[in-house]
């Protein structure tokens, strides 16, 4: 019996939201913590800023993802409604349109007409949604799923730098946060790439590089702000 093939496209929806949320949680909170600490703030102030950033970021991620994916869902519904109306008005024309799509994909015209005919007899709207509009169950927008996945993953990611702040010595808090956050980011990048079937080292390098850039930028901003105030 042949071995079943593994495909990862069905993970795109939740994986995208989860990885985006967790990476943003780590990067934004770690950067915020580093920036505040660089301004010579005490541990309590750093924690307050970090927790505020966690809550605000999680809510922002949830709202942003919900609005964005809802807009995508609205567009998909409008396209389906339009396609349904066109099928009711001009079935013959829609059959020709579907057949032409299959011809462009490599089928000979006679076979393309036969395939289009059978698919439209089975479920005309689904056939056009899939092959004309590019919509299917895997890529269909799910606003609530994207919102709660992003918020939860952001909160989990943001909690990691805050835990480091709690246990790190005062004198070396910034190096602890930077190193541990880069480690967390690297592991997240590797995990996301592994789940998605991509190269784990490329995924790790990508997120750690941009995480380091973000933390360096906020460190410099914190140093400049602290020096200006003093």
The number of distinct structural domains making up the chain is 2
Residue 156 lies in a domain: yes
pLDDT digits (tens, 9 = 90+) for 97-115: 878 888 888 888 888 888 8
Residue 130: pLDDT band (50, 70, 90) is confident
* Interval 67-89: pLDDT, tens: 888 887 788 788 778 878 887 78
Q: Flag whether pLDDT at 165 surpasses 80.
A: yes
pLDDT bin (cut points 50, 70, 90) of residue 49 is: very high
Q: Are residues 156 and 53 in the same domain?
A: yes
Q: Show the domain range for 119.
A: 81-131
Give the distance, in angstroms, between the CA of residue 99 and the centroid of all CA atoms in the same chain. 35
Same domain, 212 and 170: yes
Residues 96 and 198 occupy one common structural domain: no
Report residue 22: phi and psi, to 5°: -65, -45
Say if residues 157 and 29 touch (Cβ distance below 8 Å).
yes
The pLDDT of residue 104 is 84
Same domain, 17 and 69: yes
As a whole number of Å, the end-to-end CA separation of the chain is 74
Identify whether 223 is part of a domain.
yes
- Work out the average pLDDT over 167-183: 92
- pTM recorded for the entire structure: 0.69
Output the pLDDT for position 10: 47
The string of DSSP letters for 108-167 reads: -HHHHHHHHHHHHHHHHHHHHHHHTS---TTT---HHHHHHHHHHHHHHHHHHHHHHHHH
**pLDDT of 125 higher than 70:** yes
Please give the pLDDT value at position 136.
67
Would residue 139 count as lying in a domain? no
Q: Is the model's pLDDT at 229 over the cut of 50?
A: no
Whether residues 61 and 157 share a domain: the answer is yes
Mean pLDDT of the chain: 82
Condensed to tens digits (0 to 9), the pLDDT of residues 14-37 reads 566 677 788 889 999 999 999 999
């Amino acid at each position: 019996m042949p071995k079943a093939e593994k495909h990862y496209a069905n993970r795109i929806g939740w994986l995208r939201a989860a990885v985006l949320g967790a990476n943003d949680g780590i990067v934004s909170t770690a950067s915020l913590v580093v920036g505040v600490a660089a301004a010579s703030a005490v541990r309590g102030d750093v924690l307050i800023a970090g927790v505020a950033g966690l809550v605000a970021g999680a809510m922002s991620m949830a709202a942003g993802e919900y609005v964005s994916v809802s807009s995508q869902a609205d567009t998909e519904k409008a396209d389906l409604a339009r396609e349904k109306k066109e099928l009711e008005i001009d079935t013959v024309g829609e059959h020709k349109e579907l057949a032409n799509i299959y011809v462009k994909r490599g089928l000979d015209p006679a076979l393309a007409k036969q395939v289009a005919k059978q698919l439209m007899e089975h479920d005309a709207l689904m056939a056009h949604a899939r092959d004309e509009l590019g919509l299917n169950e895997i890529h269909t927008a799910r606003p609530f799923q994207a919102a709660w996945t992003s918020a939860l993953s952001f909160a989990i990611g943001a909690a990691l730098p805050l835990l480091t702040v709690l246990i790190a010595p005062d004198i070396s808090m910034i190096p602890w946060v930077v190193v541990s956050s880069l480690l967390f980011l690297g592991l997240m990048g590797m995990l996301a790439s592994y789940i998605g079937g991509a190269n784990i080292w490329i995924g790790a390098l990508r997120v750690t590089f941009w995480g380091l850039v973000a933390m360096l930028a906020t460190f410099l901003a914190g140093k400049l702000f602290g020096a200006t105030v003093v």
